[in-house]
């Protein structure tokens, strides 16, 4: 299976469990790798046959910027469900990074891999 990717998608969000985190918006960084058969768009050279990564990005930015979760784990699961449910993606690998959350580390976060049910 082919993969379409989005790398380094930055979104400002309210996320965290500590009081100071509940008062500020933080930058989150998303990397997605989505299973998609690219043979049809390659054959037709028609954008309508592609996985529209701009639409995926826009949808995630819209959702994440309005979200208010305590845990990155919860947000990652919700984002995976959106991508699998609203776009023609059979599997995805989603990395959600929270830069600067731990002193001395560039970022912390989660990597999840999910498939569409059925």
For 11, the token pair is 């979104």
How many whole angstroms separate alpha carbon 80 and alpha carbon 28?
Answer: 15
| CA–CA–CA angle 29, 112, 59 (5° rounding) | 50
- Out of 54, 58, 95, 98, the active site residue is 98
Asked if 95 is an active-site residue, the reply is no
Angle of the 72-86 helix axis to the 53-66 helix axis, nearest 10:
140
- Give the neighbor-by-neighbor strand order of the sheet with 107-115: 68-69, 3-15, 26-35, 91-99, 107-115
Catalytic site positions: 98
């Amino acid at each position: 299976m082919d993969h379409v990717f989005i790398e380094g998608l930055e979104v400002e969000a309210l996320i965290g469990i500590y009081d100071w985190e509940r008062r500020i918006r933080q930058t989150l960084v998303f990397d997605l790798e989505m299973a998609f058969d690219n043979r049809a768009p390659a054959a037709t050279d028609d954008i309508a046959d592609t996985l529209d990564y701009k639409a995926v990005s826009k949808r995630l930015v819209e959702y994440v910027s309005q979200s208010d979760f305590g845990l990155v784990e919860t947000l990652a699961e919700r984002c995976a469900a959106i991508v699998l449910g609203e776009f023609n993606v059979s599997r995805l690998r989603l990395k959600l990074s929270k830069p600067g959350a731990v002193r001395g580390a560039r970022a912390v976060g989660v990597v999840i891999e999910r498939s569409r049910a059925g």
